[in-house]
A and B are shown apart, each in its own frame.
Chain A
Amino acid sequence: MIVFRTGVILCALAAAACQSNKLDVYRKPINTPSAALAEDSTKASPTEETETTESEGYGYRLSDITPAQRPTTGTVEGGIWYQADKAEVKIARSGKRIKDGPLPAYVEKIVCTLAGPYCDDIRVYVVRTNGFNASMMPNGALIVQSGFLIRVRSEAQLATVLGHEIGHYLRRHSLKRTKDTVTGANTAAWVGILLGVPLGPQVFANLREFSRDHEREADGYGLLLMSRAGYDPRQATWVWDRLVRIVGPEAIKERKRYNFMATHPTSPERSKALRIIANELEERGDVAAEPIDGFVEYQNVMAEYRADFIEDEIADGNFDELERLLEILIGDGENRAELLFYRGEIFRRRGKKKDPEQAMFAYNRAFRAGTPPPEIHRSIGLIHFKLKEFDQATEHFAKYLELKPDAKDASIVKSMMGAGT
């Protein structure tokens, strides 16, 4: 019994130690004393900068890279940037890149505010790609996916993720990761050839653990940069809570099972850690009295794009997640007519047994909520058409063409009118 208890206590201690370790990684950018920075071995060149806030007197770890700094040619970092520069040209030319409308400039503006003196070093590319993701290339090219943009609620939540990505750049995580990978692979090769022990899986797991630590550190940067720019750092927690709701409990469970292989910490872990640190920031008086939320501004900018982005996700067929996402967006309270129309679209296109009824129910709610897009009449027409209710179908097709006379699919819709007569 005693042995058993000791075991439990040891386990608990080990878990607690691990937990506090992780929190410290998140905290690293925010609360690292200057003395520790000098001994930091992760940097590639001696350009470490610290900045001390006037009143509190605690050190901010600002970055490993100075503004406008480029790596020396012939170094590992020089090679990585050479490749990144080439890849960036391709992204800039990509057909998926969004160049028109207010969105690119809006995201750039926020990046600039967050990045401060590094504003000119970071170039933003907004791309039409599904899924919650943004990524920072080693050379400062920041790719923001449309799938991420429709999943966050406000400017403050957008800033959370942008700040995180800027953190990767400032801490040169891609360089560190390259070095870790080379070292890990070398060790595995030598151990493999001399001892005949395959170390591959172990090295892989280690590299993933390093990767998760980079993400934790970048999360800390997100908090730091956003609170400096006047946003509420608690928004970071809300982003992860929101994502947990969007992906659903099953995906989270599955994800936890394979955690040792994952590049990123789990969303619940991030949510929890960031809540603790956001509270610490607030206790220090490091959060603006009236933080910027930017809900309305964000919704206004997104209004022009949202329908396209949702169409992209529907085309991917990830209906369950999209259903949960739309529920949340409808709950946010803006553009309800459009969102309810798309809720109906999910059911109509999924086409399971009870889906036509569910779709019609959502379309009706959309009409009650405001003015849905003209396509709603085409969709209602198609449901009637499938049920061989041709009169009602024709009526709605006509309404669609009346509201959208230059519709691209006008001739197809016309050919379906008057069927069954």
Chain B
Amino acid sequence: MYNSAFAGALGRSIGPIAIRAILITLAAFALSACVTTDRVVKEAFEKAKPPIRVVVMDPDVNLGELTAGGVTVPNDEWSLQAKTHIRTHLKNKMGALDVETVYMQDQSINDDQEIGYMQTMFEVVGNAIQNHDIRPILQLPTKKNNFYWTMGPTVARLREQYDADFALMTWVHDTYSSPDRVALIVVGAILGIGIQGGVQQGYMGLVDLSDGRVVWFNRIQRGFGDLRTAEAAEGSVEFLMGNFPLAKGKGKS
């Protein structure tokens, strides 16, 4: 993001392009080994008493174009389209459950700093779970068969503000091949060289607001589905919420 930095006498090391290229390669590896990635802490839902209130954070959606050379160019128009679709489907899904929901809008710079902080931290923790718990290649030894991630007691602020038991967070990233990327893929296929197209990645997490622990987490990673269309966005939300723990709670009560 720091595109025009003013470094001093010593230059910078590798730029964001190289990092992106590495990430894309890693994603390609991970894609080939797609397994169920649902994580749940059952106790948290057993102890929760109805009526359960969930604060739904505005989904964080980033869409971009994957160019022939592998550089992703972000696209705000696509991102906002997909965000609208995902928001709608989230509302539909949540509305069908036996829970009370309150929706939180994106926090801007001038809004309540502490609430905004939660949103940022949620994203950081979510990325850590995705990278270091779920991806086998980067999994931390301490996180093997031990799903314990927490945002800490600071979530109390969120609980008070929205009078909620859980917070739901959604993060989605997707890229679509540019025409010249598609051409490169075709040429590559003729020559017998496999070239990766765009990849959809995303996750959803539920945080227990009584102690800050992440009590449910699910991830999506697929090479199909155009989130700019309502149907694909619905499909992705469906997939992410496939094992949604509060949906099961409804059946029991």
Known: A73-B80, A89-B107, A89-B116. A251 touches B4 (CB 8 A): no
Query: How far, in angstroms, from A264 to B109 measured CA to CA in the complex?
Result: 31
- Is B8 touching A193 in the complex (CB atoms < 8 A)? no
Find the A residue at minimum CB distance from B110.
A92
Whole-angstrom distance between the Cβ of A63 and the nearest chain B Cβ: 14
**Binary interface encoding of chain A residues 177-203 relative to chain B, with 1 for a CB under 8 A from any of its CBs, else 0:** 110011011111110011000000000
Q: Which of B116-131 contact A (CB under 8 A)?
A: 116-117, 120
Q: Which of A42-83 contact B (CB under 8 A)?
A: 73-74, 76, 78-83
B68 at the interface (CB under 8 A from A): yes
B10 at the interface (CB under 8 A from A): yes
Query: How far, in angstroms, from A137 to B116 measured CA to CA in the complex?
Result: 21
**Binary interface encoding of chain B residues 50-70 relative to chain A, with 1 for a CB under 8 A from any of its CBs, else 0:** 000000000010101001111
Q: Which of A229-273 contact B (CB under 8 A)?
A: 243-244, 247, 251-252, 255, 258, 261-264, 266-267
User: Among B4, B67, B108, which residue has its beta carbon within 8 angstroms of that of A185?
Assistant: B67
Whole-angstrom distance between the Cβ of B252 and the nearest chain A Cβ: 39
Whole-angstrom distance between the Cβ of A132 and the nearest chain B Cβ: 4
Query: How far, in angstroms, from A143 to B8 measured CA to CA in the complex?
Result: 15
Find the B residue at minimum CB distance from A88.
B109
- Is A80 touching B74 in the complex (CB atoms < 8 A)? yes
A131 at the interface (CB under 8 A from B): yes
**Binary interface encoding of chain B residues 191-202 relative to chain A, with 1 for a CB under 8 A from any of its CBs, else 0:** 101010000000
* Number of chain B residues close to chain A: CB under 8 A: 44
B7 at the interface (CB under 8 A from A): yes
Whole-angstrom distance between the Cβ of A151 and the nearest chain B Cβ: 8
Query: How far, in angstroms, from A186 to B193 measured CA to CA in the complex?
Result: 16
Known: A93-B116, A188-B69, A193-B188. A243 touches B193 (CB 8 A): no
A111 at the interface (CB under 8 A from B): no
Known: A79-B64, A93-B113, A136-B4. A251 touches B10 (CB 8 A): yes
User: Among B6, B7, B15, which residue has its beta carbon within 8 angstroms of that of A165?
Assistant: B6
* Number of chain A residues close to chain B: CB under 8 A: 63
- Is A137 touching B2 in the complex (CB atoms < 8 A)? yes
Among A79, A133, A177, A190, residue most surrounded by chain B Cβ atoms (within 10 Å): A79
B184 at the interface (CB under 8 A from A): yes
Query: How far, in angstroms, from A73 to B77 measured CA to CA in the complex?
Result: 6
- Is B180 touching A185 in the complex (CB atoms < 8 A)? no
Find the A residue at minimum CB distance from B8.
A132
- Is A185 touching B10 in the complex (CB atoms < 8 A)? no
Q: Which of A72-104 contact B (CB under 8 A)?
A: 73-74, 76, 78-84, 86-90, 92-93
Known: A87-B1, A258-B11. A182 touches B74 (CB 8 A): no
Find the B residue at minimum CB distance from A90.
B120
- Is A177 touching B4 in the complex (CB atoms < 8 A)? yes
- B109 — which chain A residues lie within 8 A by C-beta? 88-89, 92-93
Among A80, A84, A93, residue most surrounded by chain B Cβ atoms (within 10 Å): A93
- A336 — which chain B residues lie within 8 A by C-beta? none
**Binary interface encoding of chain B residues 10-43 relative to chain A, with 1 for a CB under 8 A from any of its CBs, else 0:** 1110010100000000000000000000000000
Query: How far, in angstroms, from A261 to B7 measured CA to CA in the complex?
Result: 13
B76 at the interface (CB under 8 A from A): yes
- Is B4 touching A165 in the complex (CB atoms < 8 A)? yes
- A88 — which chain B residues lie within 8 A by C-beta? 109
User: Among B3, B6, B15, B71, which residue has its beta carbon within 8 angstroms of that of A174?
Assistant: B3
- A207 — which chain B residues lie within 8 A by C-beta? 17
- B3 — which chain A residues lie within 8 A by C-beta? 80, 136-138, 173-174, 177-178
Q: Which of B65-111 contact A (CB under 8 A)?
A: 67-71, 73-80, 107-109
- B138 — which chain A residues lie within 8 A by C-beta? none
B187 at the interface (CB under 8 A from A): yes
- Is B11 touching A262 in the complex (CB atoms < 8 A)? yes
Whole-angstrom distance between the Cβ of B63 and the nearest chain A Cβ: 9
Q: Which of A138-166 contact B (CB under 8 A)?
A: 138, 143, 161, 164-165
User: Among A93, A131, A138, which residue has its beta carbon within 8 angstroms of that of B120?
Assistant: A93
Whole-angstrom distance between the Cβ of B199 and the nearest chain A Cβ: 17
Query: How far, in angstroms, from A255 to B70 measured CA to CA in the complex?
Result: 30
A134 at the interface (CB under 8 A from B): yes
Whole-angstrom distance between the Cβ of B18 and the nearest chain A Cβ: 8
Query: How far, in angstroms, from A272 to B6 measured CA to CA in the complex?
Result: 18
Find the B residue at minimum CB distance from A262.
B11
**Binary interface encoding of chain A residues 279-312 relative to chain B, with 1 for a CB under 8 A from any of its CBs, else 0:** 0000000000000000000000000000000000
- A27 — which chain B residues lie within 8 A by C-beta? none
Find the A residue at minimum CB distance from B16.
A181
- Is B2 touching A135 in the complex (CB atoms < 8 A)? yes
Query: How far, in angstroms, from A181 to B17 measured CA to CA in the complex?
Result: 8
Q: Which of A335-367 contact B (CB under 8 A)?
A: none
A214 at the interface (CB under 8 A from B): yes
A378 at the interface (CB under 8 A from B): no
28 contacts between A and B (CB under 8 A): A74-B76, A74-B77, A74-B78, A78-B75, A80-B74, A83-B74, A89-B107, A89-B120, A131-B8, A134-B6, A135-B6, A137-B4, A161-B6, A168-B6, A173-B3, A174-B4, A177-B3, A177-B4, A182-B67, A188-B69, A189-B70, A193-B187, A193-B195, A194-B187, A214-B4, A252-B9, A255-B10, A266-B9
Residues of chain B at the chain A interface (Cβ within 8 Å): 1-12, 15, 17, 60, 62, 64, 67-71, 73-80, 107-109, 113, 116-117, 120, 180, 184, 187-188, 191, 193, 195
A-B pairs, top 4 by smallest CB distance, nearest first, are A185-B69, A262-B11, A174-B3, A82-B76
